[in-house]
Structure 1
Amino acid sequence: MKKVYVLDTNVLLQDPLAIFSFQDNDIILPAVVLEEIDSKKRLMDEIGRNARYVAKLLDGLRLKGQLHTGVTMDNGGDLRVELNHRSFARMQELFLDMTNDNRILAVALNLHAEEQQKEKPRMVILVTKDALLRVKADALGLLAEDFLSDRVVHEFSSLYKGYTTLSVSVDVIQKFYGPGPFDMKKYLPQYDFLPNEFLILKDELGSSSSAIGRVSGDSRYLLPLVFGDEIVWGVKARNAQQKMAMELLLNKDIPLVTLTGKAGTGKTLLSLAAGLMQIEDEHAYKKLLVARPIVPLGKDLGYLPGEKEEKLRPWMQPIYDNLEYLFNTKHSSDLDKILAGLGSIQVEALTYIRGRSIPEQFIIVDEAQNLTKHEVKTILTRVGDNSKIILMGDPQQIDHPYLDEVNNGLTYVVERFKQQKMSGHITLHKGERSNLAQLAADLL
C-alpha cells in the first residue's frame, strides 16, 4: 500500500531531487514549505541555488497539472502541494506558537487523522532533517524519519579508510621484500583490494616482521612505498598513515587524493609540503592553489573591511600558519614577502572557483567536509590537464547546517572514487600536533 510522505523544507534545501526519492508513494509539500523556499531563493550560496532549483522543478511539474490537486511524476508517485489541513486545533495544547515547523507538523497530523477515518488507512510519515521536529512528531504519535537516501554510507564507521591490516605468514612478508613483483593473486588470492589501497602486513605469529605496500592501479600487484620515508621541505612522516599519505601526495600518477582525519593529524602540513616540493624543487606544476570554503565556526563575523586579500586573511589563517612553519618565519610580514617573491602560491576562497579552468596546478582544498555534493562536483570539474587536487578535512567537524558526516562532499568523493585507479585515500588517526591536541581530539 502506498505511503504518504510529508516533506520538511530542509529536505529540499539539502537535496532538491528529494521529491523523486520516494518511489511510487505520495509526496505532500505543505504550503509553508513553498514560502520558506521562496525566502531562500535570493541567497547567493548553495542553499539559494537549491531553492531556485526546487522552484524550477515544481514549475516543470506544474505543466502536468495543478499541484494543489496532485500530479503524477515519472516514478509513479503523486506530488501535491497541501493548501488544506492547516488546522492548529489538535496541537494547541502542546505547542502554542504557530511557527513554520509547527505548521508543517499540523499538516502531517491532520493528514494522519484523516487517514485513520478510512477503511484502509495509509501511513503518514514526516520526513525532516530537524531532529527536534522528529521529537515533536513522536510526542504527537506521528511517524517521523530523517532523509537518508543522500547518504553514501549508512554509518560513518563504515567509510573507506584507504588501508587494510592483514595477519599473514612470515613467508608472505619475505616474498614482498624479495626480488620481482608481489603478485596479489598468487600470494593473497583470498582477498580483493581496491586500486591504490594500502596494506599493512603483520606476522600472524606475533613477531616484529611487517610490511607496508600499495595496491597497483590494476589491483594485481602490491608495490613497495617509494616516497613514504622522504623528508619533504623539512617534514617527515611520523606514522604509517602519514607515510601512506605522502606516497599518494608525491605520486604524479594519482591526480586525486582525499585525506580525512581529526585535527592535528597532519593533513594540511603534509599536503603543503608535498605541493611546495613538486612546484619549487621539481617544477612538476606551475602553481600551488590553496582554497577553503567560507563557512564560519560559531557566530559569523559579518563583512570585513579591506581588499580581497585582507578579507580572506582571517579565513585562511590556518593555511598561513602551516606556511610559516614550512618557511621557518616568525612574523606574518616575512611570510607575505616570501609569497610575493615566489609568485607561485595562491591562497583563495572557493567562492571564486566557479567558471575557472585550472591546468598544471597542485590544488589543495581544506575543510572539504563543509562542501555539498554539488559544490565538490563543481570543484573537480574545474581541474585541468596535468593538475593534482587534494581534498581533505574531518567529516566529524562540520559547520554546514544541512550536512553531516555521511552526506557531505568529502565523504561522497571518498566513496565514489575508491574504485578508480586515478584516486587514492587515507584516513589519518594519530595526532602529531602535540600530546594535548591529540588528547583533546580523543576526549572532546
Structure 2
Amino acid sequence: MSKAALQEKKSSKKIFVLDTSVILYDHDAVNNFQEHDVAVPILVLEELDNFKSGNDTRNFEARNFIRLIDKASKNHLINKWFNLKKNSLGKFKVVLDEHPKKVNAEKLFGDGKFDNRILNSALALKEENPKRKVILVSKDICLRLKAKALDLYAEDYETGKIKNADELYTGKTEILDFSVEIIDELKNNGNVDASNLILPYTDSNHFYVLKNKKKSVIAFYDKVAKNLRYIFQESAFNIFPRNAEQSFAIDALLNPDIKLVSIQGNAGTGKTLLALATALEQRKDFRQIYITRPIVPLSNKDIGFLPGDVKAKIDPYMAPIWDNLKFIREQFAGDEKMLFKIDELIRTEKIQIAPLAFIRGRTITKIFFIVDEAQNLTPHEVKTIISRAGEHTKIVFTGDIYQIDTPYLDSESNGLSYLIENAKKHPLYAHITLQKGERSELANLAIELL
C-alpha cells in the first residue's frame, strides 16, 4: 500500500472522545467503536475516581473501567496512542491537553466547570488532528449542544439504544374479521393448533384480541407449542383484571413456562399491583418474593447519607410498593385468616421489599423477583439482574419508559426498552404494554387531556 493510501486510510479513521456519562453508562464503551480511535480526557479519570466507592451501579462501572484501562495499559504510557486489545483495530489514549489555541470553552462558558474542560480536551485533540474527524460522545444533551456550538461534532452513545421507542414491541395485537370457527373452537376447547394460521407474530410469545362482528376472544400464542390458548379472565389474589390488557399481564405472570416478564405502561395501569398480586398467588411455588426498585440518588450521594436507620432511609422510596401491598390487603377485609397470612409473610420476610442496591449479590434461586421502575436501569444493570437468576426463579420488570428519573437515560436508551427489544423472540419471555389507566377517572383525565 502506498504512503498516500496509508495516509488516506488514517484520515478516514475517526477519533471519539468519551465523557464521564458514557463510562458510567457502559464501562466497556471504549471497545465499541470498531476501527476508530477512542480518547478520554484526564478529567474523566478524575471524576471516575470520585465514583469508585459505593454500591451503586455507577460505582461498579467506574471501578470496572479503571481496572480495564489499568490491565490494558501494562507497560504503555496512557497519554500516547496504544491498542487496548491485541486484535483491536482502533487505539486509545488519555488526553492531557486542556488548552486549545483557537476556541476555548472555559473562556466562553466559564472557568473551572468540568464540562467545559472536557470540551477543551476535545477541541485540543481536534487541533492536533486537523485531517481527522473528532467527535465528542456524551449522554449529556447540554454538553452535546455546547460542543456543536463550538464547531465540534457530538453524538449520543448509541450502544444499547433502540431505534424508535414509539414503535417498541407491545406484546399484543387486535385482529378484526378473524375466523368465527377458530373463535368458537378456542372458546369450546381452550386451545387451537396455530401452525397453519396466518398471524402477524409467530416468532414471539404474543397476546391476541380476536374479533369477528359481535364475537371476540382473547388468546395467547405459544411460540414453542405453536398454538393459541384461550385466556380466562381469572383473578390473582383477589385482584380482578379490568380489561384485556390486564388479563394478558396476569396470564403471563401466572404462566410457569414464562420465566421473564416485562410490563410497560403509564402510571395507574396496574403494573406493580398485578405483579405483586400474582406473586402472592404463587407464594407456595417460590422460596421468597423480592420486590425492589432502583433508588435514584441525589448528586453523587447514595441513601447512606440520609438520616436514620436502614428502614428510615428506604421507606420513602419503597412507599409505592407498600401502598400496593396495603391495597391487596384491603381486598381481604373481614377475612382475619388471610390478613394474618399476609402479615406473617412480611414478618418472616417471605416478602422482602428493598432497594436494588441492598439485594446486590444475593442468590436469586426459587424467587419471584419483581423489579419496579425498571426504566431507571441501564441495559447493563438489566443484564446483570437476569444473569444472576438461579433455578425456578421468575423475574418481572415493570416500568414506564416515558417517565425516567435517571440522568442520561431516555426512552430509547434505558434498560427496560433494551430488554423488550432484545428479548421479544425468546421462548421464556413475554411482554405486555398496558395503555388503559384503571386508577381512577380523575387520573385518566390527567393522562388523556393534560
TM-score normalised by the chain length of structure 2: 0.86
Report whether the alignment pairs 1:96 with 2:110: yes
Q: Tell me the amino acid that sits aligned with residue 166 of structure 1.
A: I
Provide Cα deviations, 1:228-277, integer angstroms capped at 9, x if missing partner.
Answer: x1133332111111010011111122122111111100011112221222
Question: Structure 1 stretch 177-186 or stretch 98-107: which is displaced more?
Answer: 177-186
- State the match for 2:325 in structure 1: 323
CA, structure 1 residues 362+39, in 2 after alignment: closer, same or farther (shift >3 Å)?
A: closer
Residues 192 and 397 of structure 1: is their aligned pair in 2 closer, same or farther, counting only changes over 3 Å?
Answer: closer
2:257 is equivalent to residue 253 of structure 1: yes
Task: Evaluate the alpha carbon distance shift between residue 2 and residue 381 of structure 1 in structure 2; reply closer, same or farther with a 3 A threshold.
Answer: closer
Shift of 1:113: 3.5
Aligned equivalent of 2:172, options 160, 163, 175: 163
**Secondary structure at the residue paired with 1:71?**
coil
Q: How many residues align?
A: 428
Are 2:279 and 2:368, in contact at CA under 8 Å, matched by a contact in 1? yes
Q: What is the CA–CA distance in structure 2 between the aligned matches of 1:68 and 1:301, rounded to whole Å?
A: 37
1:129 positional shift? 1.2
Q: Residue 275 of structure 2 aligns with which residue?
A: 271
Q: How far off its partner does 1:296 sit?
A: 5.3
Q: Percent identity among equivalent residues?
A: 41
C-alpha distance in structure 2 between counterparts of 1:443 and 1:127, whole Å: 37
CA contact (8 A) 1:297 1:399 kept: no
SS at match of 2:282: helix
- 1: distance between equivalents of 2:177 and 2:397? 33
**Distance in 1 between residues matched to 2:121 and 2:308, nearest whole Å:** 48
Please show how residues 94-243 of structure 1 align to structure 2 within 5 Å.
94-116=108-130, 121-151=131-161, 153-171=162-180, 172-174=182-184, 176-177=186-187, 179=189, 181-188=191-198, 191-203=200-212, 207-218=213-224, 220-226=226-232, 229-243=233-247
Could you tell me whether the CA contact under 8 Å between 2:78 and 2:94 is conserved in 1?
A: yes
Mapped to 1, the partners of 2:342 and 2:305 lie a distance apart of 26
Report the 3-state secondary structure (helix = DSSP H, G, I; strand = E; otherwise coil) of the residue aligned with 1:77.
coil
CA distance in 1, matches of 2:183, 2:289: 38
Q: Tell me, yes or no, if the aligned pair for 1:64 and 1:71 is still in contact at 8 Å.
A: no
Q: Which residue, out of 62, 67, 75, partners 2:88? A: 75
Matched AA of 1:108? A
Find 1:9's aligned residue among 1, 20, 32.
20
State the AA in 2 paired with 1:54.
F
Partner of 2:344: 341
3-state SS of paired residue (2:176) = strand
> How far is the alpha carbon of 1:306 from its aligned partner?
4.5
Change (3 A) 1:389 1:115: closer
Gaps of at least 5 residues in structure 2 are 1-11
Letter of the 1:327 counterpart: R
Seen in structure 2, the aligned counterparts of structure 1 residues 95 and 320 have a Cα distance that, compared at 3 Å, is: closer
Distance 1:315 1:269 in 2: 16
Are residues 264 and 296 of structure 1, via their aligned partners in 2, closer, same or farther at CA, if it must alter by over 3 Å? farther
Under a length normalisation based on structure 1, what TM-score does the superposition of the two structures give?
A: 0.87
RMSD (Å) for aligned C-alpha atoms: 2.9
Report how far residue 415 of structure 1 moved: 2.6
Who is 1:47 aligned against?
A: 58
Which position in structure 2 is the counterpart of 1:354?
Answer: 360
Consecutive unaligned residues in structure 1, runs of 5 or more: none
The Cα of 1:433 is off from its aligned counterpart by 0.2
| Partner of residue 292, structure 1 | 293
Give distance in 1, aligned partners of 2:122 and 2:368.
Answer: 51
1:376–1:409 CA contact under 8 A, matched in 2? yes
